[in-house]
């Protein structure tokens, strides 16, 4: 892993990997959404509204994956002082927050016809809303601490690790508490879904995950370029001052 600690080496890889992930992600995600919208069958009880699953589940997965990425990068930053770890954490934050927001909005749009309500304060929905607020707090803290302590500030890393406690709470909320939300349909032990729904869902998850990886790599390139430009301008200003 330390082999990739060199930003120059990372940039060499990211230059070809980012467009590849983004292009493949857009193609696969659109194909899966088209399949889900036009060719997948309606569900016996929920009817046509089940088609929202092809957006809702991938965005829920990526909302949680984004914070897991922040937590892993934060741990790496604190323990090994990996120079790219803080940048990776910052790069995960905005896409993670966007997918969490999409999950909440699409879930609400699914809830209205399926449950008869836009929102209920049950464990799953509330813990997902808490995740969105954690993202907002993390982004604000990362910006504030970068302005005062520089890019290697430890405060967002500690917040990233502490906030990770919410991830298992989201996952197990439908098991621990009596919830309006259904229990998990896909587990490591198998799937309760029919193949007609499962395949377009798995392909949508693959497509959106590649897209997420492409956005994270683009954000990392942007943050690195910003830091390099600022460092160069600072050096020049110092040299002119002397």
Partner 1 sequence: MREALDPWTFVMAAYAIGVGGTALMVGWSLITMKRAEKRRDEARKR
Region of 47 (left: φ > 0; alpha: ψ -120 to 50; beta: rest) is left
The interface region with partner 1, picked from 55-63, 155-163, 166-174, 192-200 by CB under 8 A, is 55-63
Minimum distance of partner 1 from residue 168's CB (angstroms): 26
Q: Which of 13, 114, 128 is nearest to 61 (CA)?
A: 128
Q: Which two tokens stand for residue 31?
A: 């194909």
The interface region with partner 1, picked from 44-52, 149-157, 165-173, 185-193 by CB under 8 A, is 44-52
30/48 Cα distance (integer angstroms)? 19
What are the strands, taking DSSP E only, across the chain? 186-187, 190-191
In the list 55, 88, 142, 170, the residue contacting partner 1 (rule: CB under 8 A) is: 55
Q: Does residue 151 bind partner 1 (CB under 8 A)? A: no
Q: Does residue 196 bind partner 1 (CB under 8 A)? A: no
Alpha helix (H) residue ranges in 52-122: 53-80, 85-115
Q: Does residue 20 bind partner 1 (CB under 8 A)? A: no
Region of 150 (left: φ > 0; alpha: ψ -120 to 50; beta: rest) is left
Residues that bind partner 1 (CB under 8 A): 22, 26, 29, 33, 37, 47-49, 51-52, 55-56, 59, 94-95, 98, 101-102, 105-106, 109-110, 112-113, 116, 208, 211, 214-215, 218-219, 221-223, 225-226, 228-229, 232-233, 236
């Amino acid at each position: 892993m330390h082999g990739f600690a060199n930003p120059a080496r990372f940039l060499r890889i990211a230059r070809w990997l980012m467009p590849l992930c983004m292009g493949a992600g857009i193609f696969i995600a659109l194909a899966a959404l088209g399949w889900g919208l036009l060719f997948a069958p309606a569900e016996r009880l929920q009817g046509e509204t089940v088609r929202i699953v092809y957006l809702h589940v991938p965005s829920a997965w990526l909302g949680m994956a984004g914070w897991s990425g922040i937590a892993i990068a934060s741990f790496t930053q604190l323990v090994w002082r990996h120079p790219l770890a803080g940048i990776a954490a910052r790069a995960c934050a905005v896409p993670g927050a966007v997918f969490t927001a999409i999950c909440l909005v699409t879930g609400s749009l699914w809830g209205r016809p399926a449950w008869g309500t836009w929102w209920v304060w049950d464990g799953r929905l509330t813990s997902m809303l808490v995740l969105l607020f954690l993202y907002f707090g993390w982004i604000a803290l990362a910006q504030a601490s970068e302005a005062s302590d520089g890019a290697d500030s430890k405060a967002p890393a500690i917040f990233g690790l502490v906030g990770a406690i919410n991830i298992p709470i989201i996952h197990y909320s439908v098991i621990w508490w009596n919830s309006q939300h259904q229990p998990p349909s896909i587990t490591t032990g198998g799937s309760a879904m029919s193949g007609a729904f499962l395949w377009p869902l798995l392909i949508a998850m693959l497509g959106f995950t590649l897209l997420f990886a492409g956005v994270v790599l683009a954000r990392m390139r942007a943050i690195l370029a910003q830091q390099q430009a600022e460092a160069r301008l600072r050096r020049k200003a110092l040299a002119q001052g002397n």
